[in-house]
Amino acid sequence: MRDKIKVGLMGFGTVGTGVVRIVDSNKEDLYKQTGAEIEVSRILVRDTEKERAVYVNPDIITTDPHELIYDEDVKVVIEVMGGIEPARTYLLEAIEQGKHIVTANKDLMAIHGAELTKKAQQFGCDLYYEASVAGGIPILNAIVEGFSSDRIKQIMGIVNGTTNYILTKMSNEHASFDDVLREAQELGYAEADPTADVEGLDAARKMAILASLGFHVGMNLDDVSVRGISQVTLEDMKYGEQLGYTMKLIGIAKKDDDFIEVSVEPTLVKNSHPLATVNGVFNAVYVYGEAVGETMFYGPGAGELPTATAVLSDLVTVVKNIKLGITGRSMATPYHEKKLKSDKEIYSKYFIRLIVNDESGVLAQIAKLMAEEGISVEKVFQEPYPNEDKKAELILVTHKTSKKQVDTILNAFEQVDFVEKVKSSYRVEGGE
């Protein structure tokens, strides 16, 4: 008689439906990989009367989480509900009952991952969350397992498909942010309230998870510097393109010596960099290891089946661990002290766009201000400012300089009368 592993599923929306589809259609393959039959035996939902995209026996559907948490036959809980509460409470309670956990919940793991990991270790349970970052791209397993003998120095990625779709459309079709956002909402790529995506919060949660695993420290959302794309304009993108850059919302995690920086912000990426060619709703994560050098992981960042595939990959790992009797041993836990860089220690090139008086001596005055702050300029060009004869747009790209220096010079520009306005500034990556 075949061994059977029963699974409880919390959430039966898009991803939950995908999980059931894959389990039902791949039963034999899953058995051959794990040595056990996998059965979804309990499903927690909010509304039992709601129509589902896939049929399941109505007897296994419940609105009571305790029917799943305290079912002794359920060995693994898959959580795809989303949100912080009640998911956090349910999973902590499930772990206390000896359940192994697979979750796709990036919000929960970014904010309460350390708490859940500690609880899972205490009770000898597995906790896996591959699907929480970049959908179908197996990036977390690659970082934990694939780079286990290497030392990761940098993780840089496009980890939000909605913003990548918006920026790609703005660039290719010269459409405004508002118009493309509206189209993305109509197509289902963006939520009715798109704040988490367009203001960078979704990407920041994912970068906190990636940095925690990549650098073996306890990073959380508050450690990530966040700036979204809602203020990016077509003019910014046009000038960036003239200089050989593509605008992307980039998450960056870097470690120099023992000090770490993690940020999410609109970034001008050199066209020669692999991330510059990642378009539409696709995600990509670039990882630089001290020994292996440059690697990049690319694929769909969301969707029913890509995300469900990542969930099932974790489930297969958990079931194998159960069969081998090694659960609770394979989680990546922080073992380095968290040391964050100050703004004086964060270095990059920067794009700066100014509206200035179109008269002799202005460029020399700007150069003098920048030299006093220790900032040198790599590229500069000037364009007439539309509809104003005595104004011009001045676009600068600096050599590598600190974030502190850039913030200081931007403030200085705001104080002088020959600069009318600082229109924008962006980090610049690639091409070194």
Q: Please provide residue 263's backbone torsions phi and psi, each rounded to the nearest 5 degrees.
A: -145, 160
Residues of the chain with CATH 3.30.360.10: 139-300
Residue range 4-135+304-324 in CATH 3.40.50.720: yes
Q: CA-CA distance, 373 to 366, in Å (whole number)? A: 11
Question: Quick one: pLDDT at residue 330?
Answer: 59
Q: What is the pLDDT of residues 156-196, one digit of tens each?
A: 999 999 999 999 999 999 999 999 999 989 988 888 899 99
Q: What are phi and psi of 428, to 5 degrees?
A: -125, 130
| DSSP secondary structure code for residue 340 in this structure | B
If DSSP codes are grouped into helix, strand and coil, which group holds residue 91? helix
Which residue type does 251 have?
Answer: G
- Its sign, for the CA torsion 230, 234, 237, 239, is negative
Over residues 122-129, the mean pLDDT reads 94
Active-site residue (options: 106, 119, 206, 254) = 206
Distance CA 135, CA 297 (A): 12
d(CA 288, CA 153): 6
Q: Is 263 helix (H, G, I), strand (E, B) or coil?
A: strand
DSSP state string for 203-221: HHHHHHHHHHHHHTS---G
CB 300 within 8 A of CB 282: yes
Task: Give the chain's mean pLDDT.
Answer: 93
Fold topology of 139-300: Dihydrodipicolinate Reductase; domain 2 (3.30.360)
Mapped onto helix, strand or coil, the DSSP state of residue 397 is strand
pLDDT for the residue 42? 97
The CATH homologous superfamily for domain 343-429 is: ACT domain (3.30.70.260)
pLDDT in tens, 407-427: 999 999 999 999 999 999 999
pLDDT for the residue numbered 20: 96
End-to-end CA, the chain: 60
Mean pLDDT to the nearest integer, 361-373: 94
Residue 48 predicted with pLDDT over 80: yes
Q: Where in the chain is the domain with CATH 3.40.50.720?
A: 4-135+304-324
Quote the percentage of the chain above a pLDDT of 70. Answer: 98
Position 331 scores a pLDDT of 60
Instruction: Tell me what pLDDT residue 1 has.
Output: 65
pLDDT of residue 123 exceeding 90, the answer is yes
| DSSP letter for each residue of 54-67 | S---GGGEES-HHH
Residues 6+ apart with CB under 8 A from 91: 77, 79, 101, 103, 108, 116
- Beta 259-270 vs 347-357: how paired, if at all? unpaired
Name the DSSP letter for residue 351.
E
Instruction: Give all strands (DSSP E) within 89-183, no chain letters.
Output: 100-103, 127-128, 152-158
Taking CA atoms, 229 is separated from 191, 244, 283, 405, in Å, by 15, 20, 16, 23
Tell me the one-letter amino acid at 82: G
- Is pLDDT of 131 > 90? no
206 catalytically annotated: yes
- Strand pairing class (4-10; 74-79): parallel
Q: CA nearest 216: which of 157, 260, 172, 178? A: 260
Exposed (0-12), middle (13-18) or buried (19+): which is 247, by Cβ within 10 Å? Answer: buried
Digit-coded pLDDT (tens) for 254-295? 999 999 999 999 999 999 999 999 999 899 999 999 999 999
Residue 432 has pLDDT above 80, yes or no: no
The per-residue pLDDT for range 62-85, each reduced to its tens digit, is: 999 999 999 999 999 999 999 999
Contacts of 16 (CB under 8 A, 6+ apart): 9, 43, 78, 80
